Chain A
């Protein structure tokens, strides 16, 4: 699977997480792309973007994010990450009072 639009990426990512819920891992990575790699020297910087990729080791998905979409995309991405990282533990509650104290 190649380059998707942002909404497509987010929904495919959710599927990827679902598939790897019980075994395996899901990687997400992002990097800055500020020039066209096919024409390295000729092309000046015009419209940098953030390339976001995700994989479970088999299937790969990616999408490009421009500055104007970055905040919305980040919120969508984090919603999916939060929704599918249910295995994380909640912070242990602080123990209060006399626990552990001997008199």
Chain B
């Protein structure tokens, strides 16, 4: 499946994928110490987006995206439709 070429493309697709199917979306990343490489993957089983990096600077961006995901994934008292329609914070 497609590797995004820039972080911004990846993050944008990742958010769209989550909002399309909040309960089916998985946000994951893999670190391989030997290669010093991080691979990010977000999928809702319909669409997938991946991004690979070897740069330390991307950790900060991972933090931002994880925060965004975490906030929505733990949002209580809303069902999926509400989460897609009105995210807790833009």
Q: Which label, helix, strand, loop or mixed, suits the secondary structure of the B interface?
A: mixed
Residue numbers in B under 8 Å from A84 (CB-CB): 31, 33
Question: Is the pair B30, A81 in contact by a Cβ cutoff of 8 Å?
Answer: no
Question: Is the pair A17, B28 in contact by a Cβ cutoff of 8 Å?
Answer: no
Residue numbers in B under 8 Å from A70 (CB-CB): 70-71, 74
Question: Is the pair B33, A20 in contact by a Cβ cutoff of 8 Å?
Answer: yes
Contact of A49 with B by CB under 8 A: yes
Chain B, Cβ-Cβ closest to A26: B31
Contact of B26 with A by CB under 8 A: yes
CA gap between A90 and B75 in the complex, in Å = 35
Residue numbers in B under 8 Å from A47 (CB-CB): 76
Chain A, Cβ-Cβ closest to B79: A45
Chain A's nearest CB lies how many Å from the CB of B52? 12
Chain B, Cβ-Cβ closest to A68: B74
Contact of B57 with A by CB under 8 A: yes
Chain A's nearest CB lies how many Å from the CB of B86? 15
Q: What is the interface of chain A, defined by CB distance below 8 A to chain B? A: 17, 20-34, 45, 47-50, 65-67, 70-71, 73-74, 77-78, 81-82, 84-91
